[in-house]
Amino acid sequence: MSDTPETTLMQRAHAGRERAYAPYSRFKVGAALLARDGQVFEGCNIENGAYPLCNCAERTAIFSAVATGLRRGDFAALAVIGDTPQPISPCGACRQVMSEFFDPDMPVWLGNLGGLLQRTSVRELLPGHFEMAPPATD
């Protein structure tokens, strides 16, 4: 891999994927969320014997960052990686969660183990996303 900001972030997503807990699907996914202050939050999917409780890598990374106090406007880029023929495509739940915290044009990098890399954004991933518009103080 060449050394660009997005490939560096994708390498962090790959590192996150190593920690996936996916004994049911055996489908490991990793994510890495770059904050504007330079922090990187790695995520992995975390499954559960009660299948609907499985949490995707993307939401693990976002929730980890939010749990440390980061909010909308604090994020710079997300990378996601999975073992898919094409760059991995986030599920609908993750697209909605991304839309809560990411600026519509923030880069979302989707990749696969073969090195394919695709740039997208919340604007492209979820047009017409649901929005409550919470008060700025929240």
Q: Could you list the residues that contact ligand DUR (CB under 6 A)?
A: 22, 25, 27, 29, 45, 47, 54, 56-58, 88, 90-91, 94
Active-site residue identified among 58, 100, 124, 131 = 58
Q: How far is the CB of 7 from ligand DUR (least distance, A)?
A: 19
The verdict on whether 124 is a catalytic residue reads no
Can you tell me which residue has the tokens 């749990």? Answer: 67
Q: Is 7 in contact with 55 (CB distance < 8 Å)?
A: no
Tokens of 110: 């989707």
Among residues 1 and 93, whose Cβ is nearest to ligand DUR? 93
Nearest to 88 by CA among 108, 64, 63: 108
Chain contacts with Zn ion (rule: CB under 5 A): 56, 91, 94
Phi, psi torsion values for 10, nearest 5 degrees: -65, -35
Q: What angle do CA 4, 111, 43 make, to 5 degrees?
A: 90
Among residues 42 and 58, whose Cβ is nearest to ligand DUR? 58
Among residues 73 and 122, whose Cβ is nearest to ligand DUR? 122
Instruction: Catalogue the active-site residues.
Output: 58
